[in-house]
Amino acid sequence: MGLAVCVFCASSSRIDRRYLELAGQAGAELARRGHTLVSGGAQVSCMGAVARAARAGGARTIGVIPQALVSVEISDEDNDELIVTPDMRSRKGEMDRRSDAFLVLPGGIGTLEELFEIWTGRVLGMHDKPLVILDPYGVYDPLRELMVKLSDQGFTRPKIFDAIGWTGSVTEAFDLLEGAPVRIQPTAEDYAEAEP
């Protein structure tokens, strides 16, 4: 039985073509493995590329877009199901509710916001849905370095990287999404304040 995989990715039209190709590869692999796509519901940039490739491979696609962005991001009317939400918060909630796993491709601040919300939920033990970053070009390398530094200095929970997979391979990304995620159960010590 396939997963409903939510893909967070770019909506910018100013990015290098290789990111659109990566989104297309992810959509094709999703379809090949029999999964359903949950996405931001737009035709533009990587959002459109992943949805078109998934549909071309026979996958069901579900798009979720806020009313304010229907004309800006140009909603993808070819989705099997297109949900228009009143705002961004309800968009993210609907995408989360409909998804079994999350794949993050290179993107901007909207993608980062989505990544951090799902990652934080995993670290806090609020859900066990797999989360994987697919980054063959090293876009998120500075982010990874920052998170290591935050962890080393005690600002993040010790098991922050147990909550996420990180790869440059499309195949490995889906292998990680399909695998059993590490179960994270924070203890009271995880919530304790640092020594003064």
Ordered per-residue pLDDT tens for the chain, 196 residues: 799 999 999 999 899 999 999 999 999 999 999 999 999 999 999 999 999 999 999 999 999 999 988 877 688 899 999 999 999 999 999 999 999 999 999 999 999 999 999 999 999 889 999 999 999 999 999 999 999 999 999 998 878 999 999 999 999 999 999 998 777 777 666 655 444 4
- Cβ proximity of 123 and 157 under 8 Å: yes
By the 8 A CB rule, do 48 and 56 touch?
Answer: no
Rounded to 5 degrees, what angle do the CA atoms 65, 38, 8 make? Answer: 80
Query: Rounded CA gap, 30 and 37, in Å?
Result: 7
Query: How high is the pLDDT of residue 115?
Result: 97
Specify the pLDDT at position 95. 96
Q: What pLDDT score does 138 carry?
A: 97
Nearest of 100, 109, 7 to residue 51 by alpha carbon: 7
- pTM for the whole structure: 0.93
Nearest to 11 by CA among 33, 36, 43, 37: 43
Residue-level pLDDT at 145: 96
**How much is the pLDDT for 181?**
78
Q: Please name each of the domains of the chain with its CATH number.
A: 4-179 (3.40.50.450)
